[in-house]
């Protein structure tokens, strides 16, 4: 069976990209990372891709007059590499509605909170400020609205007494590295469908909604 040709967009260190690369290194993983694009030439994630033998490309947003032109360049590069699917892995640019719709249900993102709570930047700080007892991370399909879209997998992480933003973020990141490859696997296996604003996942026990990974799961 052909593996799902997947592009990844990054802006920074690329630890979630590394989790995807590690998963795709297994011959039985149903997706392959075929292109990594960064909007920053010095993004450490580019070296991760090169080490894995994956093609890389830098498309600097500062070289374009507006977001639409930048997104058009992203779209052209992904199509030129025959990408069928796209993962945002620490990509720190807001995509235009046109790009989100062009890749509708073929574009996913990971966010360090249990959406729909704590959207936007500094999600861990938001959780601490709100006194949340449980935080976590979410893989979701991308929609034009920021941090919105059908939820595929979530990972729950307890907020511990004395946690600061860095400590909570580090524990959430460990779970991100588990759930992002899982979400892509489910999609590439053809087990995920979208109905309205909700995901259905086909499994041995019938259809269910989004997958939840517990702290001990």
Q: Looking at the structure, tell me whether residues 114 and 211 fall in a common domain.
A: yes
The reported pLDDT for the residue numbered 206 is 56
Q: Looking at the structure, tell me whether residues 49 and 11 fall in a common domain.
A: yes
Burial of residue 26, with CB atoms counted within 10 A of its CB: 0-12 exposed, 13-18 middle, 19 or more buried: exposed
Q: Are 123 and 146 in contact (CB under 8 A)?
A: no
Q: Looking at the structure, tell me whether residues 179 and 156 fall in a common domain.
A: yes
**CATH number of the domain within which 163 lies:** 3.40.50.170
Q: Looking at the structure, tell me whether residues 87 and 117 fall in a common domain.
A: no
In angstroms and rounded to an integer, the radius of gyration of the C-alpha atoms of the chain is 17
**Residue 100 DSSP one-character state:** H
Catalytic positions, please? 111
| Residue whose tokens read 């019938």 | 206
3-state class of 94 per DSSP?
coil
**The last residue of a domain, from among 66, 83, 103:** 103
Q: Looking at the structure, tell me whether residues 41 and 71 fall in a common domain.
A: yes
Please give the mean pLDDT across all residues of the chain. Answer: 95
**The last residue of a domain, from among 48, 73, 103:** 103
Q: Looking at the structure, tell me whether residues 5 and 67 fall in a common domain.
A: yes
Q: Are 168 and 132 in contact (CB under 8 A)?
A: no
Q: Are 62 and 74 in contact (CB under 8 A)?
A: no
Q: Looking at the structure, tell me whether residues 48 and 89 fall in a common domain.
A: yes
**The last residue of a domain, from among 83, 103, 123:** 103
Q: Looking at the structure, tell me whether residues 88 and 63 fall in a common domain.
A: yes
Q: Looking at the structure, tell me whether residues 95 and 133 fall in a common domain.
A: no
User: Distance between the two ends of the chain, CA-based, in angstroms?
Assistant: 30
**Residue 61 DSSP one-character state:** G
Q: Is the pLDDT of residue 209 over 80?
A: no
Q: Is 162 left (phi over 0), alpha (psi -120 to 50) or beta?
A: left
197 Cβ contact list (under 8 Å, min separation 6): 150
Q: Which of 92, 70, 86 is nearest to 13 (CA)?
A: 92
The number of distinct structural domains making up the chain is 2
| Segments forming the whole domain that contains residue 35 | 1-103
Q: Looking at the structure, tell me whether residues 68 and 148 fall in a common domain.
A: no
At 96-110, the pLDDT tens digits run 999 999 999 999 999
The reported pLDDT for the residue numbered 205 is 54
Q: Which of 112, 82, 81, 78 is nearest to 95 (CA)?
A: 78
Q: Looking at the structure, tell me whether residues 67 and 6 fall in a common domain.
A: yes
Q: Would the pTM of this model clear 0.75, i.e. be above it?
A: yes
Q: Looking at the structure, tell me whether residues 162 and 199 fall in a common domain.
A: yes
The reported pLDDT for the residue numbered 211 is 82
Q: Which of 139, 194, 188 is nearest to 4 (CA)?
A: 188
Region 163-187 average pLDDT: 97
């Amino acid at each position: 069976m052909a593996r799902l040709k997947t592009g990844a967009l990054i802006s920074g260190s690329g630890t979630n990209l590394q989790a995807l690369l590690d998963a795709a290194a297994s011959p039985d993983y149903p997706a392959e990372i075929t292109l990594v694009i960064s909007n920053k030439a010095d993004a450490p994630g580019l070296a991760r891709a090169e080490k894995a033998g994956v093609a890389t490309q830098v498309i600097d947003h500062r070289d374009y007059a507006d977001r639409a032109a930048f997104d058009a360049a992203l779209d052209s590069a992904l199509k030129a590499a025959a990408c069928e699917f796209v993962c945002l892995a620490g990509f720190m640019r807001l995509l235009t509605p046109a790009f989100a719709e062009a890749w509708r249900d073929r574009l996913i993102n990971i966010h360090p909170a249990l959406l729909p709570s704590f959207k936007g930047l500094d999600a861990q700080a938001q959780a601490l400020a709100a006194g949340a007892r449980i935080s976590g991370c979410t893989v979701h399909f991308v929609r034009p609205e920021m941090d919105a879209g059908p939820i595929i997998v979530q990972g729950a992480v307890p907020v511990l007494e004395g946690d600061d933003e860095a400590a909570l973020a580090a524990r959430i990141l460990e779970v991100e590295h588990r759930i992002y490859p899982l979400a892509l696997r489910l999609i590439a296996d053809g087990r995920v469908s979208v109905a309205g604003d909700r995901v259905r996942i086909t499994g041995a026990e019938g259809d269910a909604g989004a997958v939840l990974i517990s702290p001990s799961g």
